[in-house]
Amino acid sequence: MERDDKQPERHEIGSKVYLVADVEPLDVDGVRTVAVGTALWLVAFVAMLPFYGPLADHGRTWWLWTCLTGFGLGLCGYEFCRRRAAAHEERAGGERSA
């Protein structure tokens, strides 16, 4: 069963007309996106470490622990996306050879 993925070139909403650009999606498996986000959480954590004293004085140490938690969850998300992309690639490879 073939699916027609032809997208409209323009949308008319009310009195406005919106043109749709013909571009390919970026990073469809999400691995790179999750990796960059995880790295940014780690950079934020390391950047705040020298300010632990002032953060503690103002009751804002939760900022530091939020960054560390974001990094840890990002590692879990990275592994999930990496495995999902590998499984997708394996499935696509099997379909090509069949």
Please tell me the distance from the alpha carbon of residue 16 to that of residue 96, in angstroms, as a whole number.
43
> pLDDT 10s per residue in the chain (98 long)?
455 566 667 778 888 888 887 777 666 788 999 999 999 999 999 999 999 999 999 999 999 999 999 999 999 999 999 999 999 888 887 666 55
- Give the pLDDT of residue 28: 75
Domain boundaries, the chain: 27-97
pLDDT computed for residue 1 by the predictor: 42
Smallest CA-to-CA distance from 65 within 78, 49, 54 is with: 49
pLDDT at res. 29: 85
C-alpha distances out from residue 34 to 19, 28, 30, 66, 81, Å: 30, 11, 6, 17, 8
Q: What percent of the chain has pLDDT over 70?
A: 84
Specify the pLDDT at position 11: 78
